[in-house]
Amino acid sequence: MSKLWGGCFTEATSSSLAELNCSLPVDSRLFAEDIDGSKAYAQALSKAGIITDLECQNILTGIEVVRYEWIEGLIKFLESDEDVHTVNERRLTELIGDAGQKLHTGRSRNDQVVTDMKLWMRKGIRETLSEFEKTISAGISLAEKYKQVIMPGYTHLQRAQAVLFPHWVMSHMTALKEDAKRFLDLKKRSNILPLGSGAIAGNPLNIDREFLAEKLGFDGVTSNSMHAVGDRDFVIDFIYCASMTSTHLSRLSEDLILYATKEFNFVRISDKFSTGSSLMPQKRNPDSLELVRGISGIIFGNLSGIMMTVKGTPSTYNKDLQYDKKFLFDSFDQLKKVLDITAGVLSTLSVNGEVMEAALSSDMLATDWAYYLVRKGVPFRTAHHTIGQVVASGEKKQVKITDLSLPDLRNICDKFDEDLFTHASDFRKNIEQYKATGGTSSVTVKKQLVEMKEFLRELVL
């Protein structure tokens, strides 16, 4: 079969251009979506009277044979095959004859490929959200398993305030929740049908685009044919969402890599997700998390790549956009891997609760002591300055602030009393103060877990 184009050409295509022009190694992944779109379009052609009912039925039957051949690995590529669309139309025509050549009537590969990609993206988002559910569920289980553990919370990598370990876990799961919501929003926003836009000007054959949208499960149709065929914003959005997710997974990985060091010894990464050294027998390296951290750079690179590709193209379709699928599919594949690895790490992680609690230092009580003075009627700025003086006094005497005597403290502020040591110096009691929504008290953390479980139920619907 000859190419889908070239009637006015008098010279054969350069072999180097033919090789560069062929997108089959990448877009063959769209074979099922291309077949689904073709079936709906055949029915629209029949509805418009462009092909007969019999021709339509032959196309529907024949294209399902093509689908079977793809699934079973029976499809053979020819030199004339440029892309998945060419293969499907060529093979269909071989099976059913001239009716196969009528399928492309009024349709361009410009609106065909963008339709295929939107169909694929629906499936890609669904599979991605399934990975989110698995990863967040693993985080919830980890938080519940160690719900009583207290740990140092850090800002600037310096000890800040005591928090519940599950509060730290849920900080990362909340980031993933927001990422999942981005994908859910994209799924809805991108579900608009471009098919029926033709190459640029639209379709002149009375094709019922609303009928096509209904057949293919779209929520509506695009409003401008020129925009529709050149639009790759939904691809950029997908890769952006993937990039944000991988960024958050990278930050979680970095925390766990630090916490797994001998210096911290807060957690132990399972042997299933660790590797060793070829030289040093004692090493247990967190390679799983380092790879998750590294892959975030690959996905961000894909985002840069697609944006640089799109920014340089004039309006409507240009062949540069052939590379959109490479960026899209790679981002999807990489994100699926890192979500799966993260779920595995979290579900097998061991937490050294005693070590975490032993890492709490008295200086981390400083903020709670400031709140103690606030409750005694001291303005916060004054209280903040006063506790700074307490910390300085402890440093000067080379003792913990909890080892300073009450007279020492009263020399700084007469509001200090015995209840400072019985109430404000207990980490666990202090944690329970933070009952405002989103805080680290056991009550509010439990609420976070309940809300996250409710979100997961929505996610899998």
At 131, is the secondary structure helix, strand, or coil? helix
Does the annotation count 156 as an active-site position?
yes
Torsion angle, CA of 379/385/386/390, rounded to 10 degrees? Answer: 150
Residues whose CB falls within 8 Å of the CB of residue 349, separated by 6 or more in sequence, listed in order: 142, 256, 267, 268, 269, 270
Does the annotation count 277 as an active-site position?
yes
Residues whose CB falls within 8 Å of the CB of residue 253, separated by 6 or more in sequence, listed in order: 286, 289, 290, 292, 293, 342
Measured between alpha carbons, how far is 354 from 266 in angstroms, rounded to an integer?
9
DSSP string covering 37-106: HHHHHHHHHHHTTSS-HHHHHHHHHHHHHHHHHHHTT-----TT--SHHHHHHHHHHHHHTTHHHHTTTT
Measured between alpha carbons, how far is 373 from 419 in angstroms, rounded to an integer?
11
Residues whose CB falls within 8 Å of the CB of residue 317, separated by 6 or more in sequence, listed in order: 110, 199, 200, 229, 230
Dihedral sign (CA 175, 181, 182, 184)? positive
Given the residues 141, 277, 304, 350, the one annotated as active site: 277
> What's the maximum distance between 2 C-alpha atoms anywhere in the chain?
101
Bridge partners (DSSP) listed for residue 268? 350
List phi, psi (to 5°) of 82: -95, -30
List phi, psi (to 5°) of 292: -60, -45
Does an H or E element contain 159, and which? strand 158-164
In total, the chain counts a number of residues equal to: 461
Query: Are 171 and 255 a contacting pair, CB within 8 Å?
Result: no
- Chain position carrying tokens 């690179």: 301
Given the residues 2, 15, 16, 156, the one annotated as active site: 156
For Cα atoms 148, 152, 156, give the angle at the middle one, nearest 5 degrees: 145
Measured between alpha carbons, how far is 84 from 25 in angstroms, rounded to an integer?
9
Tokens of residue 201, six digits: 């000007």
List phi, psi (to 5°) of 315: -65, 160
Residues whose CB falls within 8 Å of the CB of residue 126, separated by 6 or more in sequence, listed in order: 187
Measured between alpha carbons, how far is 153 from 387 in angstroms, rounded to an integer?
19
Residues labelled as active-site residues:
156, 277
